[in-house]
Amino acid sequence: MYFTERDINKILANLDALRNSVFPVQNQEIEGVSRKQQFPSVCLIGLGRCGSNIALEVASLVYNARTFYMSEFSQEEKAQKEQEYRPVRWIKKGLNLDKSHQVKPVFLIEPLVMLGDLDKDIEGRIRFSNRGEKSTFLQDYNKMKIMDLSEVHAGGAGNAPILGQYLAKIILNKDTHKFSNADWKFIHSYLIDSCGIKANQSRLYFYIFSAGGGTGSGMASEFGLAQQYAYMAKTFDTRPELENEANSGHSFVFEPIFTSGICILPNITDHGVEMSEALHINSGRLLCKYLSEEWDFSYNLENEDSNESSVMQRIRPWNAMMLISNDIMRYAEETDDGEIQHIDVNAMEKYANQYISQQIFNILTAQAVTTDYDENYFRRAGIDIGETIRLDANDLFMSLAGPVAVAYAESVVPTQPASVDKLKLFDKANSGLNIDDLFFRSIDLPHFNKVTQAIEGISLLPIESGRYREALASYVKNGYDPKDLKDLHFFKNCSSVVSIISLPKDYKLSYMDLNRLKSHLNALFPNTTLKRYALVIGASANISLTTLIVKSPCLSDDFLTLIVSFIKRCFAKDDYRFDDSLDKAMLDFIRSDEFDEERLDNMLFEYENPAKILDTNWYAIKPMYEKKYRELIRDKNKFVSINDIRLSRDSVKKAIHYLREIYRHKISKTKVISLNGPAKPAE
């Protein structure tokens, strides 16, 4: 399916070449022992213009934090005089970067950052951005690499995800040694050839992209599939040379990895402007494709066969896909007493970047290992690492699957610390932290916290915003009784939640507050099979709560609206393209006890028609791209036609099967089973 380097020595040489460029001083003396510098445990892959901008934003924020820390904040006064936008203000507040504190806890995890775009000028765009002009960031942040793929295609994907996907397939099928860009084979060995082996220590990979575009939406899932293909292939790889003693020192031991797409969905309900229909259709295609792949991987029992060919045909691009709506910026601006029509597009994008950066930061800190930090960090910050509860890659692998939404809020440290007096232990007023309010703000509509400069709220609304506001108002009015919320499918059908609590190093969360938080989660998510908690200490100066809501977001209004928009436009027969009969039929397909597949067959064509979103002749475009494939990949056996990557009616059916599965999710409460009969009443 994809090119993978099979020569172990070449893979190791490529990893060493990348390591040498990432860590110019490679060997470190630690306690008298010389050892190779390890790769960071986390990698961010930003694809397309939107994805690469956000990944670049995260990298620059982390770099700025480390610069402040390592230089003892000598540049702080100068930086304060410069005009700053909200993300920088948020991170400075969150990282306690001010002179009033002698011990400054700082987030020092520096992920590897890979930026890719089907644009020959990606390097120029990044170099002449604000981050490139105003600092030495681009020269100094060695952990950021640009994937220059312009020799395959230099003109973007024309807002057509199927073209972005096809071009990505060309890139990933071409022998890496035949690229003129020498760095590509190093990046390819890191991302794909070596994922999951001990020689490559990265265990978490986040693919950041916009669902509505062509490049990011099309490339991201193909890159994810190539990585998963290489990873899964290792489980079946029993070549005797792997057992060769000469390779034992390289530790080709198989390890679990966790991959996630971070998917930016377009506005749907902005009444001020009509969004481009193509953005909705493109997003719907991505969501439909992902659900069908996730159904095959996780639920489809018809092909339940453990042999290699069966498993390799049922891979999906990521373990989970986090959904973040572009409407976040609109809600945040509306609740910030602003006039939405006066805000420019760049400011809107920065708000999205900030929200996503916050979520990535919290997930990274929850799983960070000590090797991710500066070796003197814990000693200088006075943090007891033994108090943390960490999530490793395997925890995330087991806890997060399918579509995921994020709920987030943060609070400053209360001026009066929690009392440890035994007599006052149960007095809620003494804790200083309003855990009820913190939890409510995390599930509220997106809004600015003016105290912490954070964007809080839920990343994808369960239902239409007006109805959700009313349900939230009732929730608060009734003393946080979730009776009006817990019946929404977003909460009722959630299979698992992962909560990450981040605390300053000197703040002790009382067990009463923790129990109160668990009570809120239990009440709002009545059918969760699995609840996981992580406690991060010393990563920020604020108290923050991140809750990852698993699988049920696919039943939200926005998610269903996008999928149906794609099916109607690119699959539906003429009779069903313009009225609401297909909309109603989709709801019936999900709700009814039996899935009437024959009815669906009568409404849809066999394959998607990409021409429906392109204002040009699709049949003239198709041979142009297929000729490029033949020219770049000479092996006739590897040729793939664009027709072969079209989504089929079966893909739609599998997506519906997935939605039906989540719609019916419920659990039975544990009941005590006893061999001892009930106690006899006293005579």
Per-residue pLDDT tens over the stretch 433-459: 889 999 999 999 988 888 877 788 999
pLDDT tens figures, 271-302? 555 556 888 899 999 999 999 999 998 887 77
Quick one: tokens of 348? 């809107």
Question: Is the separation of the CB atoms in 201 and 213 below 8 Å?
Answer: no
The yes-or-no verdict on residue 663 having pLDDT over 90 is yes
Question: Is the separation of the CB atoms in 73 and 97 below 8 Å?
Answer: yes
Classify residue 572 by its DSSP letter. Answer: B
- Band (39; pLDDT cuts 50, 70, 90): confident
Percent of the chain with pLDDT over 70: 70
pLDDT tens figures, 307-327? 666 677 788 999 999 998 877
Classify residue 192 by its DSSP letter. Answer: I
Q: Backbone phi, then psi, for 546, in 5-degree steps? A: -120, 125
Stretch 646-669: mean pLDDT: 92
pLDDT value for 654? 95
The yes-or-no verdict on residue 81 having pLDDT over 50 is no
pLDDT value for 427? 41
User: How far is it, in rounded angstroms, from Cα 79 to Cα 95?
Assistant: 15
- Position with higher pLDDT, 602 vs 70: 602
Of 242-246, 260-264, 576-580, 636-640, minimum mean pLDDT range: 242-246
The yes-or-no verdict on residue 636 having pLDDT over 50 is yes
pLDDT tens figures, 335-364? 555 544 555 556 656 666 677 777 776 776
- Band (419; pLDDT cuts 50, 70, 90): very low
HSE-CB at 3 with a 13 A cutoff on CA atoms is 22
- Position with higher pLDDT, 370 vs 567: 567
- Band (30; pLDDT cuts 50, 70, 90): very low
| Residue given tokens 């681009």 in the structure block | 138
Of 37-46, 50-59, 367-376, minimum mean pLDDT range: 367-376
pLDDT value for 508? 78
The yes-or-no verdict on residue 254 having pLDDT over 70 is yes
Quick one: tokens of 70? 């390592």
User: How far is it, in rounded angstroms, from Cα 18 to Cα 588?
Assistant: 52
The yes-or-no verdict on residue 429 having pLDDT over 50 is no
pLDDT value for 37? 80
Question: Is the separation of the CB atoms in 290 and 317 below 8 Å?
Answer: yes
The yes-or-no verdict on residue 621 having pLDDT over 50 is yes
pLDDT value for 314? 82
Of 24-28, 40-44, 80-84, 575-579, minimum mean pLDDT range: 80-84
**pTM, full prediction:** 0.85
pLDDT value for 456? 87
Percent of the chain with pLDDT over 90: 27
Stretch 558-584: mean pLDDT: 91
Instruction: Give the residue among 3, 23, 70 at the shortest CA–CA distance from 201.
Output: 23
pLDDT tens figures, 85-105? 455 555 555 554 444 444 344
User: How far is it, in rounded angstroms, from Cα 605 to Cα 572?
Assistant: 6
| Residue given tokens 């406690």 in the structure block | 535
- Band (655; pLDDT cuts 50, 70, 90): very high
Stretch 390-419: mean pLDDT: 78
Across the chain, what does the average pLDDT equal? Answer: 78
Stretch 194-211: mean pLDDT: 88
- In degrees, to the nearest 5, what angle opens at C-alpha 184 toward C-alphas 183 and 186? 70
The yes-or-no verdict on residue 106 having pLDDT over 50 is no
The yes-or-no verdict on residue 256 having pLDDT over 90 is no
User: How far is it, in rounded angstroms, from Cα 356 to Cα 325?
Assistant: 10
The yes-or-no verdict on residue 210 having pLDDT over 70 is yes
